[in-house]
A and B are shown apart, each in its own frame.
Chain A
Amino acid sequence: MLKIKNLKVELEEENKEILKGINLEIESGSVHAIMGPNGSGKSTLSYVLSGKKGYKVTNGEVELAGEPILELEPEERAASGLFLAFQYPVEIPGVGNMTFLRTAMNSQRKFRGETELSAADFLKLVREKAKELKIDSEMLKRPVNVGFSGGEKKRNEILQMALLEPKMCVLDETDSGLDVDAMKLVADGVNALRDKGRAFLVITHYQRLLDHIKPDFVHIMADGRIIKSGGPELALQVENNGYSDLLAEVQ
């Protein structure tokens, strides 16, 4: 589903290399987790994959379902099936959550040459998905993320994911700022979306999210490189011993 080949990225303004050759292949239907200490380049990877400005790719390729995506605009990548659940979902005052969701959904459908959903069909769909995620319909009427609690913001991200049905979901520190109950709700939402045709890349600092979203593979990232890959047991190792052992191992 997602193929990253020797990806090297600099910060545009500082000429500072953040990603120093990332290689990663994610099969359809699998869940990969990337763990790593602060400043290892995890969030940068999620931004580069989704096309945020401010980064310069100096080397490498990224393919989504066999198609190169690094030349595409962010909205084109989104319409091709890439979804990023933000670590800090952005507030958009005055724009109703429902309007935002429908605009996004129909933009993507239009891009793919599909017919747009009517207001009624959309409403039905969004209510259904919201109910599954235990999202209060009141939250749909409020402006996008404005005045949402940390948990509500993250659940709103998952709602968007559920509606847009992406092929490749990147979750950037989705557990940050969540208490145990909220994390469980979010994880349930993600688990409900696990599917043969869909892959996940879960970026997290802590192991605890991976108790709820069980990964097939775990990668440890440090200083812009993946330094170790393994199964779920790798996450437990981090949980017990921290990153220092692993870092020492490679040095």
Chain B
Amino acid sequence: MTSLDVKDGVDQETVEAVRSVGGHYKYGWETEIEMDYAPKGLDSDIVRLISAKNNEPEWMTNWRLDAFSRWEKLEEPNWAMVDYPKIDYQDIYYYASPKSMAEKPKSLDDVDPKLLETYKKLGIPLKEQLILAGVEGAEDVNLDERKVAVDAVFDSVSIGTTFKDELRKAGVIFCSISEAITEHPELVKKYLGSVVPVTDNYFATLNSAVFSDGSFVYIPEGVRCPMELSTYFRINAENTGQFERTLIIAEKGSYVSYLEGCTAPKRDTNQLHAAIVELVILEDAEVKYSTVQNWYPGDENGLGGIYNFVTKRADCRGDRSKVMWTQVETGSAVTWKYPSCILRGNESQGEFYSIAIANNFQQADTGTKMIHLGKNTKSRIVSKGISAGNAQNTYRGLVSMHPKATSSRNYTQCDSLLIGNKCGAHTVPYIEVKNNSSRVEHEATTSKVDDDQLFYCRQRGVNEEDAVALVVNGFCKEVLQALPMEFAMEAQQLVAISLEGSVG
């Protein structure tokens, strides 16, 4: 089939998926399972307890305690265009783990069936199946391309990682970060906090003190990772924060594509999610990092939902290294997230593709930072913000060309789409150029889904919600195309589902 046919099929999938899903947040159910909680609140004892739960060596415990003492002196930032009640950091559980995970299962076969069932229900079966399940229409894809290894994080712990052995044969390390700390301390010591320093920002410092688990990836020199890697984050326990940490190291000339997904049950109360992702990319290496963020967004009146405060950064340390961030942000009550690229190596490249959808009372303040340090570095930003209902959606981005980053280029395109007349879209670009040979381009548009477009579709027989989905997917097309195929389909469905009830 030609590429045209495939894309055509993908769009069709979207429309069908919307019909079949028939509304509402699909992942709002809860797993009933006995949990172990650390006492509510945060002090140095809790930090020690989390460290002890993970059997961490002393250097790690001290690293956390250092972060904690710094965090105590910090103030929560308030510059983002988001508004939420003050968070009581002493009213949160910082550690929640299923009781059955007290003794780490040796393999996936030993994992509590309830947990396995949870992931199965989410469409992420933790078996070494070839297909990322829940994705229909993937039949045309070459089998090898469909293998996806999964690290499944449930509340505070990783419950298992698939395809470990097969990956190990290729030299790839893919495990939970808690395992990496004990099994590969030399790598963790060298790179943890080297991209996002402990003191980077309020939420990053908090995460450094209390992160409980997350994923670790190491791709050795010259290795092209034989399959897609992914982490699926699930928040289940009530009043519990999730603080996970991902560290990916791509050695010289290596390549990996990494996917991240997240969901949480529907609750009336807000929950905190403060994660860190660090990517270290060495000479000629390339990392693609794709996120479909679908945390519970709160109900149509703005009750409940996740506060998503995330620090993601890639350090393109080596010459000609490349990173591509792609994100589809449909969930969370509040999103505060700026996946960034430090283009340190000469001729390194950073790309950021984003779709941020805010419906009902959601607030999103998201964007990227492109820090050009090396010569002939290139960056590209394509941001598509969609606002509906009473939502506020802000693109905030920094492009910085340092004096030594000569002959560098940036291209930024920020498009906003408004549905209805009670929502808002804002674009806040910061541009700093400190040399004469670099070029920065910025384009921004704001448009509305207009009634004429919808009527045109409806006159041809497409119902109103499908028509909105069609128009919005068209608006997002450039970003959807940047996603790996499985994700692209999921994302298209999400785009449609997130906007349900936004017209009429």
- Could you tell me which A residues sit within 8 Å of B by CB distance? 50-53, 73-75, 77-79, 83-84, 86, 89-96, 98-100, 102-108, 111, 119, 123, 141, 143, 160, 164
Contact = CB atoms under 8 A, between A and B. Distances in A.
B470 interface: yes
A84 B459 contact: yes
Contact of B460 (A52, A96, A123, A164): A164
A53 B455 contact: yes
Task: Label chain B's interface by main secondary structure.
Answer: helix
A227 to B, nearest CB: 28
Contacts of A123: 5
Nearest to A104: B460
Contacts, number: 101
A75 B458 contact: yes
B5 A119 contact: yes
B143 interface: no
Interface residues of B, number: 30
Interface stretch (B52-60, B246-254, B471-479): B471-479
B11 A75 contact: no
A90 B15 contact: no
Contact of B473 (A83, A89, A94, A105): A94
Contact of B477 (A86, A94, A98, A103): A94
Nearest to A83: B459
Contact of A92 (B4, B12, B471): B471
17 contacts: A75-B458, A75-B461, A78-B459, A79-B461, A90-B453, A90-B455, A92-B474, A94-B474, A94-B475, A95-B473, A98-B8, A100-B457, A103-B462, A103-B466, A107-B15, A141-B4, A143-B474
Contacts of A84: 459
Contacts of B452: 90
A98 B8 CA distance: 7
Contact of A95 (B451, B459, B471, B478): B471
Contacts of B11: 95-96, 99, 103
Contact of B461 (A90, A92, A99, A111): A111
Contact of A78 (B5, B461, B470, B476): B461
Contact of A86 (B7, B456, B464, B474): B456
Contact of B476 (A52, A77, A94, A164): A94
A92 B8 contact: no
A99 B458 contact: no
A35 B460 CA distance: 25
Given A95-B473, A96-B4, A103-B466, A78 B460 contact: yes
A90 B477 contact: no
Contacts of B464: 73, 75
